[in-house]
A = this chain, B = another copy of it.
Amino acid sequence: MLIAPIMSILALAFVVYLYFSIIKKSTGTPKMKRISDAIKEGSLAYLKRQYKTLSIFIIIISITLALALNYKLALAYVVGAIFSILAGFIGMNVAIRTNVRTASAARKGLAQALPIAFRGGAVMGFCVVGLGLLGISLFYYLYGDPSIILGFAFGASTVALFARVGGGIYTKTADVGADLVGKFEKGIPEDDPRNPAVIADQVGDNVGDVAGMGADLFESYVGSIIAAMIIGALVLGPSGVLLPLVLASLGVFASLIGTFFVRVKPKGDPSLALNKGTFSACGLFALFAFFLIWYFDFSIGIFYATLAGLIAGIIIGLTSDYFTSREKSPARKIASSAQTGPAITILTGFSTGLFSTILPIIGIALAILVAWYFAGIFGIAMAAIGMLSITGIIVAADSYGPIVDNAGGIVEQAKLGLKVRKVTDSLDAVGNTTKSICKGFAIGSAALTALALFLTYSQVAGLKVIDIMNPYVIAGLFIGAAIPALFCALTISAVSRNAFRMVEEVRRQFKKIPGLMKGKAKPDYARCVDIATKGALKELALPGVLAIISPLIVGFLLGKEALGGLLVGSIVTGLVFALLMANAGGAWDNAKKYIEAGNFGGKGSNAHRASIVGDTVGDPMKDTAGPSLNILIKLMSIVALIFIPLIIKYGLL
């Protein structure tokens, strides 16, 4: 009964321990400190403005919820939003303090730098699971009704929308802005301090990849647990409500132990270290889950269902890695095709992305079948729990990426020399792999969570059957299938528009600030951060409204069956598009890096130029549109779930 709050407090205590173990490390030279402070300042400026807009949004929705449904739900909503914000705030604050310490430790070598960076990431990871679990248990012990806790998930979704979609637009705005003017027009290298957008770019890594990914997985984590609790209550009664909570707690514990396996010898392989951590967490969780289910005499089928989800998660992660890694043939084939110019580079990358969708989807389909076979509809929800059990260490490994990326940038800007840069580069190479694994994991878990939420929806809506021969369901499916496409169109064009504003500003600074190119004057970093921030929050409005309003429109006009069709339609195409964009984007990115490592003519060759085109195309796909789809499909399901009582009462049909 008490294991969930205990484990969540343990996770948060671990965060405090990590924080103090990081903060006592050296921040290096004063110059390094200055750069790090600029990143810190920019990140906090972004967060501050985001929170301001966000809080207005949260107030409006919570009042709506309180008036239209009930005040308990509204309370859960507000707390869910605050907890997600808190996780993001703490995680990012520690991440931006860890980057400079990682850079400083890199001067001593790999074995010193890796654990610091990983610990920095682990703060985010354990904030996500600790606060998620704490919030859910809090409301469960307060109200005893899992459907009230849905408000908590909705709050998490709202924050995820801002953090992931807004952060995604922000990060690519800054990236494209920095590259287009700096690299192409002015010919200065990446991360050069003369570039006015360089700080915005590094801030982007934090707000997009740390805070955005954290909020995304916070939403999946919370959503899947609550969905399983609601279905568990219907299927197994009280014990079915507690089981998901307890299993999730064991996952936290397994992840926590897993972090201690992340160590590397001076000349060791850092990617091996991270993999050891992840896989031992998986193994431990499976062991714990088996004993729990056996000891408390649950059906062993529930264990198989949970395991199926965990394995599907691993398959998706490994597929993403295969299709995007610089060591594997798909990215190398793209690199080779870059020799014939940008058009074939785009086509090869695009078809790589398309290819990459099939295996994860078959994996998810099999997991669904296995889970259902062994444990029915509850099994499918438990598969989502299984996949998300290791969220702690997955987010840790993912947040490690932007930390070492930032560390590399600080090394470059503080001119610490080639040897140090080599250490951060080798840390960064691993960061890319963990990033793509985590991306695949985030997509798979979003799909499974959305599916669990959809099944919960169908139960709560009292739908005995949703028949795809019913024209309302068909219409819902068709419209649902088009929404991810529309959402991608909106987010991609948002990046283009916002990047354009950024380019103008960077050009203006190079023109108007005398001595900037010669390094004699400092650019106005803050203004670039400000433009990216304002633009991102503005551009977020339309896709955000679309995600919230489309299930309501379809629900009220076409009824609850059509709404079910809409959810499923958006989940399936959302999944296909998310995988396509993440993997095509990752493959283009690594094809470019493979060429930059000296293959097919290396830097400055025609192949390199073509690969840059591929990378630029892939950037908003993999970092904005693709991840935003995770939010879209979950948010739509949660909105449907929350508003179904009103739809039943006031709907046209």
The interface of chain A, by Cβ under 8 A from chain B, is: 180, 184, 337, 340-344, 346-348, 350-352, 354-355, 357-358, 361-362, 364-366, 368-369, 371-373, 377, 380, 451, 455, 458, 463, 465-469, 471-482, 485-486, 488-489, 492-493, 495-496, 558, 564-565, 568-569, 572-573, 575-576, 580, 612-613, 616-617, 620
Contacts and interface: CB of A to CB of B under 8 A. Distances in A.
Given A368-B471, A466-B467, A485 B358 contact: yes
A107 to B, nearest CB: 36
B354 A492 contact: yes
Secondary structure class of chain A's binding surface, majority of residues: helix
B575 A572 contact: no
Copies assembled = 2
Given A354-B489, A358-B485, A465-B465, 11 more contacts: A337-B496, A342-B613, A347-B617, A348-B493, A350-B492, A350-B617, A351-B489, A368-B475, A466-B468, A480-B572, A572-B572
Nearest to A572: B481
A496 B465 contact: no
A366 to B, nearest CB: 7
A315 B339 CA distance: 42
A492 B351 contact: yes
B475 A366 contact: yes
A345 to B, nearest CB: 9
A355 B490 CA distance: 8
A575 B580 CA distance: 16
A622 to B, nearest CB: 12
Contact of A486 (B358, B463, B493, B495): B358
Given A493-B351, A564-B468, A478 B346 contact: no
Nearest to A180: B340
Contacts of A466: 467-469
Contacts of A463: 469
Contacts of A340: 180
A617 B343 contact: yes
Among A451, A482, A613: residue with most chain B CB under 10 A: A482
A480 B575 CA distance: 12
Contacts of A468: 466-468, 473, 564-565, 568
